[in-house]
Structure 1
């Protein structure tokens, strides 16, 4: 079995914030409220999921809104997002070159995300990169989701890798908690929505640019230099 690198998707491989915010704002627009969320200032909330965006938006609209409103709006958010999933989304610079370099050096690569699997599959297909990854485990692939380590282990297994020799690359505390639960090294990127703020989490490594990835993986897995 191969040494393996598993990636988070939103905020790690792709900057999806603007399209996520647009989907939430569409829900509020239907209710008569324009641009409740800001695509820049509220990007970190966007990467915590659709319900988090809706909660924030409803809190700004005013009192009298609760989880029932979030539950009603959530299916509409998913539907709108699914139809407009790649309008503004872009892959982070160098991401796919780094993935290709890992594959060329006999590493298995996969994705473990808390995005619903169907939406993640659609996005990767639209971005033209689905074939680069040996696995995709989403929020609803299993009965559990990150930070449950089983999601990570399943992504490794489906990629043909060895769970005992795998690294997780992510951008949030959820990714760090997943890695700690799985007993694997974690690299957190500093170009995601929280920037260098992720240093507070004390990951095994920080990554400012994808050109650093291969060397970091080799160090964390104790591999000899290429």
Structure 2
């Protein structure tokens, strides 16, 4: 047990721990409807997720005809209000996650989150799904002055989790870059909100299912 090579396993949130695409798509479409734009499909929205809700809204507006100045600022609070009120209607942990967390717990490994989602939203979502209390740290996109791909969110997550060898699991180039910048092992989940094939993201390892996570880490 004590020879497990990592003390901490950190996770991105959207598209890594939790499949939030349906609820985020609903929030984007709520905002678009306010200016009589046609709704976007979940498949179109998925690759827009990862740099925070404002970026997602900007991308949604671009995909439906662009936006004149001030529209993002006007719609963003409406999107956030809607999303916060409907944050876990369809969102669920990805298959195998809970069992993987149980195995890491049994090994004495601390688990934590570093996400570009606002910290309050991240805590609310994780709380509603029964995951918040399992995390030694939850670093959001507004917790620090910088967000991923900067190293600081990963480093803060590690510090709050007590320090030690760390692996970081994510689904985007921002996750890989943040892990590299922080000097930790990066793992990409192929089932995430990918904007390109998983192998092109430059992560150290790729998994297809959470059943693979602990055996992979144990062998590193």
The verdict on a shared fold, with TM-score over 0.5 as the criterion, is: yes
Name the TM-score, length of structure 1 as normaliser. Answer: 0.89
Q: What's 1:224 paired with?
A: none
Q: Secondary structure at the match of 1:124?
A: helix
Q: What's 1:137 paired with?
A: 139
- The reply on whether 1:81 has 2:83 as its aligned counterpart is yes
Name the TM-score, length of structure 2 as normaliser. Answer: 0.91
- The reply on whether 1:44 has 2:47 as its aligned counterpart is yes
Q: What's 1:123 paired with?
A: 125
Residues 84-131 of structure 1 deviation map (CA, whole Å, 9 limit, x = unaligned): 001111110110110121111011110000000000000011111111
Query: CA 1:107/1:185 → structure 2, altered by over 3 Å: closer, same or farther?
Result: same
- The reply on whether 1:59 has 2:77 as its aligned counterpart is no
Q: CA deviation at 1:157?
A: 1.5
Q: What's 2:198 paired with?
A: 198
Structure 1 gap segments, 5+ residues each: 221-226
| CA–CA distance in structure 2, aligned partners of residues 61 and 43 of structure 1 | 15
Query: CA 1:62/1:202 → structure 2, altered by over 3 Å: closer, same or farther?
Result: closer
Query: Which residue of the other structure, out of 11, 35, 56, is the alignment partner of 1:7?
Result: 11
| CA–CA distance in structure 2, aligned partners of residues 8 and 211 of structure 1 | 17
Q: CA deviation at 1:153?
A: 1.1
> Which region of structure 1 is more displaced relative to structure 2, 188-197 or 198-207?
188-197
- Structure of greater relative contact order (alpha carbons < 8 Å, 6+ residues apart): 2
Q: Secondary structure at the match of 1:88?
A: coil
> Which region of structure 1 is more displaced relative to structure 2, 71-80 or 54-63?
54-63
Q: CA deviation at 1:195?
A: 8.1
Q: How many residues align?
A: 215
Q: What's 1:223 paired with?
A: none
- The reply on whether 1:27 has 2:31 as its aligned counterpart is yes
- The reply on whether 1:216 has 2:216 as its aligned counterpart is yes
> Which region of structure 1 is more displaced relative to structure 2, 193-202 or 119-128?
193-202
* Structural RMSD (CA): 1.7
